[in-house]
Amino acid sequence: MKYGDYFKGKRVTVMRIGLIGRGIGDAAYMAEAGAFITVVDAASQEVMQPAIDALSHFSNITFKFGPYDFADFKEADFVLVGAGAPLDEPVLVACKEAGIQLKQSAALFAELSGVPIIGITGTRGKSTVTHMIYHTLSTTFEGSVLLGGNVRGLSNLQLLKQVEEDSVAVMELDSWQLQGFGWAKRSPQVAVFTTFMEDHLNYYMAGGRNKDEAMQIYFEDKANIFRYQEDHDTLVTTPEVFEWAKKLPSGTLGQEVVLVDSSIIPEDAILAMPGEHNRLNAALAYKALEALGLTEEEIFAGLASFPGVEGRLQYLGEINDVKIYNDNNATTPQAVIMGMKAVGSSDDKNVIWLGGGAKKDVSLDELRQTIPQYCKKVVLLSGTGTDELLKHETEHSTINRTIEGAPVLVVDSLAEAVKAALADGQPGDVLLFSPGFASFGLFKNEYERNDQFLTIINSLTAKV
């Protein structure tokens, strides 16, 4: 099929195009195919100027910024919705009532390409498992292996250009992209659901929902990864996630369900990434690859050669005998805790934790209890999440702060934070950059935060 034929002559409204390349690439693909595109975004034109510049050579793309107007939607053949559009956004409600189709690009890629999809979701672990599977398939599979979904800067519609007859696609799918799979009433042939924890509650609690209601809606979005699977499809997950799945109103699960834990990975297996949670990630990848027909020998050879993932307990080397780990993508308290346990020692309390940011309305109690078990020092970037973490500590003092006895310093820039974190480092210590919160405030997004940290560390290691 010439996928471009699907778009030729269609009127498409692109909502929340973003600045990191996915939405821009999607719009460019459709424009090249002859669609008439209206880009709308609630952000100002000043903020969105990079998107305008990237697409300015297309005469069939127009832009409108500011409050959404149903007039920009009502004539569309479909609306391509970007990540994070509010659940109750009035113009989307109006579109549904008017019968206007809502789509997201990952599900649209799956629909148009028709290739087998291995989809991975979960609150934590989805990126690592995605790249484990992609790496191992790339070293063994004779056909072409495509990587898509929630991958930095990657447009899922541009990925259509790479589809061949023997292609398979490995797709990391977040809860917003899985909303699109729900609208399309489809699921990947092999679904991996890694973990389910509190996250994005600032999004799901909007509209006055309580935490229990928010968690249920969050899970239902995630559950689209397996909800529409057929009998011959496979769901790989954990017993904990499966308990949530059994409570869905849709009833029984007819596909093959494979439940795993970290014990299926032999103790002597070679894994690039530290921590018990990464043994679970490897176990999930192992069973998904097994469902695709790979042999045990092929799977463990792939896992042994897997280099790890940028921003996920990524080892960056040492500075003055202090080990440096980049865990930028750890944006929940639970992820920080896992990182501390993976690279630190409760006997030595050798972790210098660098974190902080904007709050996500999740519980911080377990993190507060874990910090003094592993941390000799805490350096936090200023933000609403940092304020929440510290609100019970030493009243409103700006000096001599502690979290259960662990000394705390709050700073306003990442460069200042790294300098302060390394100031008291001793041989055997670990600097763990693991934000635990959202990036809003000091950074445009989590990718800018990651790049800044890598730049700072690279500049320091060059001097050592």
Q: What is the DSSP string of 402-450?
A: EETTEEEEEESSHHHHHHHHHHT--TT-EEEE---SB-BTTBSSHHHHH
- In this prediction the pTM is 0.84
Domain 9-103 fold: Rossmann fold (3.40.50)
Containing 206, the helix (H) or strand (E) segment is: none
Write the burial class of residue 66 (CB in 10 Å: 0-12 exposed, 13-18 middle, 19+ buried). Answer: exposed
pLDDT for 399 equals 52
Sequence-separated (6 or more) residues with CB below 8 Å from residue 385: 356, 357, 358, 359, 360, 436, 437, 438
* 203-209 contact pairs (CB < 8 A, 24+): 203/84, 203/86, 203/87, 204/87, 205/361, 206/86, 206/87, 206/88, 207/87, 207/88
- Cβ proximity of 315 and 461 under 8 Å: no
Q: Look at residue 357 and give its three-state secondary structure.
A: coil
Degrees, nearest 5: CA angle 105-108-109: 85
pLDDT for 292 equals 95
Phi, psi of 420 (to 5 degrees): -70, -35
| Measured distance CA(99)–CA(94) in Å, rounded | 9
* Domain locations in the chain as residue ranges: 9-103, 106-305, 314-463
Domain 314-463 fold: Protein-Tyrosine Phosphatase; Chain A (3.90.190)
The pair of structure tokens assigned to 237 is 């997950």
pLDDT for 396 equals 46
Profile the chain (464 residues) by mean pLDDT over runs of 10 residues: 88 92 94 97 93 96 96 97 90 96 97 97 94 96 93 91 96 96 97 94 90 95 96 97 90 88 92 88 97 95 90 91 94 93 93 94 92 95 93 58 83 95 94 93 88 95 72
CATH code: domain 106-305 is 3.40.1190.10
pLDDT for 394 equals 53
- Cβ proximity of 191 and 229 under 8 Å: yes
Q: How many helices (H) and strands (E) does the chain have?
A: 18, 18
pLDDT for 18 equals 86
Write the pLDDT tens digit of every residue in 358-391.
988 889 999 999 999 999 999 999 999 999 999 8
